[in-house]
Amino acid sequence: MRRKLRIYVPFALNELKTQLSYRGAFYLFILISTFSSFISYFLWMAIYGSTDKVMLGGLTRNEMVVYIFMVYVTRSIVCISISDWVSEDVVKGTVAMNLIKPMDYRLSLISRALGRSGYQFLVPSVFIWIGLELYKVNVLGMQVTGIWNILLYFISSIMSFLIFVLFDFCVGMIAFFTNYIFGLLMVKEALLRFLTGELIPLSFFPECVQRIFDFLPFSSMVYTPVMIYLGKYNTAELGFVLARQAVWVVLLYLLGSLIWKKVTTRLVVLGG
């Protein structure tokens, strides 16, 4: 265990350092990343303004505000696209170097993702989160989120992170079969935005579609922790959604191992 930490912790720290050294451009990207949250915010305010209903999709207007910005926070700590790194390694051929080193490629990627996640939590998520709590209490007149909910939210988010990166590792494996996965990553991006509940809470989907979502890992990536944060689950449901997340972590871990074994037996690297 000690040895493992010694090997993989530097990956996380390196990523953190890299991010910290390129701050200039990063601030602009933070700005861009908030655009879609603000568009949703205004759009949802207009939507709630156009109806007499108090609840839409099981959420009140104020809860929707929390939902939109907690999705932003959750996304920036959970959705670290490691498939980008995999495709970069494959296209450049550096993946060969990773294969001959005595370490697990997937674990090194996940450690790196953890570094990125930590950084994105610091800049800017934690500020947006605090800002949201202040706004909630002072402007919307809601209660501060309880410590219990926050704790459960973080437990759930950690599992979400694992589900996401393990899933994304499998997606990244496609890079071994085709050189241009830009288009594919775009489809993935669009699909995830939709299926994880980022674009619209999953409770807006028709009943039968929601049943299907129950059997997919996507709702466990973003929707589950945010709904936990909002306190939308009772104790029994809480146990169920957390258990479901744990099951997905295990399943996707096994799937990733299987694909990795298959892929590495047929890998061809050009150049030297």
Partner 1 sequence: MKTIKRYLRLYRVLIVQFFKVIMQSKVDFLMGLFGFFFTQVTGILFLYLVFEQIPFLQGWSLEQLIFIYGFAQIPRGIDHLFTDNIWLVAWRLVINGDFDRYMLRPMNVFFQVIAEKLQPDALGELLVGTILVIHSCRKGIVVTDALHIGLFFVSILAGALIYTSIKLFFASFAFWIKKSGPFLQVAYEMADFAKYPTEMYAKGIRFLITWVIPFAFVAYLPASYFLGRGGFFGAGSSNVGVIGIECLIAGLFWCIAYSVFQKGISIYESAGN
- Name the site residues for partner 1 (rule: CB under 8 A): 24-25, 28-29, 31-32, 35-36, 38-39, 42-43, 45-47, 49-51, 53, 56-57, 178-187, 189-191, 193-194, 199-200, 204-206
Smallest gap, in angstroms, from Cβ of residue 199 to partner 1?
A: 5
Q: Residues 6 or more apart from 103 whose CB is under 8 A from it?
A: 7, 8
Q: Which residue has the tokens 């994105």?
A: 120
Smallest gap, in angstroms, from Cβ of residue 148 to partner 1?
A: 31
| Spatial distance between the Cα atoms of 209 and 263, rounded to a whole number of angstroms | 33
Smallest gap, in angstroms, from Cβ of residue 185 to partner 1?
A: 8
Nearer to partner 1, 58 or 146 (CB): 58
Cis before residue 10, ω within 30 degrees of 0?
A: no
3-state secondary structure of 254: helix
Q: Which residue has the tokens 């919307």?
A: 140
Q: Quick one: tokens of 99?
A: 């294969």
The pair phi, psi for residue 205, each rounded to 5°, is -75, 155
Residues 230/197, Cβ–Cβ less than 8 Å = no
Smallest gap, in angstroms, from Cβ of residue 34 to partner 1?
A: 10
Around Cβ 238, how many Cβ atoms within 10 Å? 17
Nearer to partner 1, 51 or 264 (CB): 51
Residues 75/222, Cβ–Cβ less than 8 Å = yes
Smallest gap, in angstroms, from Cβ of residue 58 to partner 1?
A: 11
Task: Report which DSSP code applies to 60.
Answer: E
Nearer to partner 1, 154 or 194 (CB): 194
Nearer to partner 1, 29 or 127 (CB): 29
Residues 197/71, Cβ–Cβ less than 8 Å = yes
Nearer to partner 1, 32 or 236 (CB): 32
Smallest gap, in angstroms, from Cβ of residue 13 to partner 1?
A: 25
Nearer to partner 1, 28 or 147 (CB): 28
